[in-house]
Structure 1
Amino acid sequence: MTWVVWVVAAVVVVVAGAGVVAVPRLRDRDLRRRTAWSAARAAIDSAAVSRDAATTSQPEAEQLLARAETLAAAHGGPRAAESAHDHAVRADELWRAARD
């Protein structure tokens, strides 16, 4: 009977150790994902403002912004957010260059 107590105690210690390691990692991953998407949405909004202020049509910039918005609609992970951010920043640069 005492060996059952030792086995249960060992399982509890292992589960507690795994929880101590896993919880901060999960929180960090969620924070990185939310931060990346926040930056991507800000870049998309900035590109949309530049598009509205542009006087000429920029087909490449329109495509880049459409890709960024499509990626944002899919709600992927941090890599998708970084890709959406990059597309939106490039579109914003094209519209700003066309305006100058």
Structure 2
Amino acid sequence: MSWTSLVWFLGGAVLLCAGFAAAYVPRRRARRRAAAVEWSRARTAIARAEVSRDATTADVPEAERLLAKARHLAAEGGGSAAARAATECATEADRLWREAADG
């Protein structure tokens, strides 16, 4: 293999790696940012459900179960799907406690 061929081969490999990095890095950053936003929503929903629980005197076992599930999902962490599931559980628990408080 001549030096010219080796230089062209290495140059092509460098360009291929640079193209991959240029496409992969922004997507990874966006995925991480989206997951952080989802987890922020989940933590807010859990806190809102805890406030509703503390504000009512009614015992709502289903809401307690949903809140425990949301807390468990938050403790385990995970991606956006786990955060959305935790948000849904906490939101439903909040709704149940609000309905119990209203009458």
| TM-score interval for Structure 1 and Structure 2 normalised by the shorter chain | over 0.9
RMSD: 0.4
1:6-25 map, 5 Å:
6-25=8-27
Cα distance in 1, alignment partners of residues 76 and 35 from structure 2: 13
Q: Where does the alignment leave 5 or more consecutive residues of structure 2 unmatched?
A: none
* Distance (Å, rounded) in 2 between the aligned partners of 1:56 and 1:17: 59
Q: Distance in 1 between matches of 2:65 and 2:19?
A: 48
* 1:58-95: CA deviation from partner (whole Å, max 9, x where unpaired): 00000000000000000111000000000000000000
Q: Distance in 1 between matches of 2:36 and 2:56?
A: 30
Aligned to 1:48: 50
Q: Counterpart in 1 of 2:72?
A: 70
Instruction: State the distance in 2 between where 1:42 and 1:5 align.
Output: 55
Give the percent of matched residue pairs that are identical in Structure 1 and Structure 2. Answer: 48
Number of aligned residue pairs: 100
Structure exhibiting the larger radius of gyration computed from Cα positions: 2
Q: Which residue of 2 aligns with 1:90?
A: 92
TM-score between both structures, scaled by the size of structure 2: 0.96
CA distance in 1, matches of 2:83, 2:56: 25
Moved over 4 A (4+): none
TM-score, scaled to structure 1:
0.99
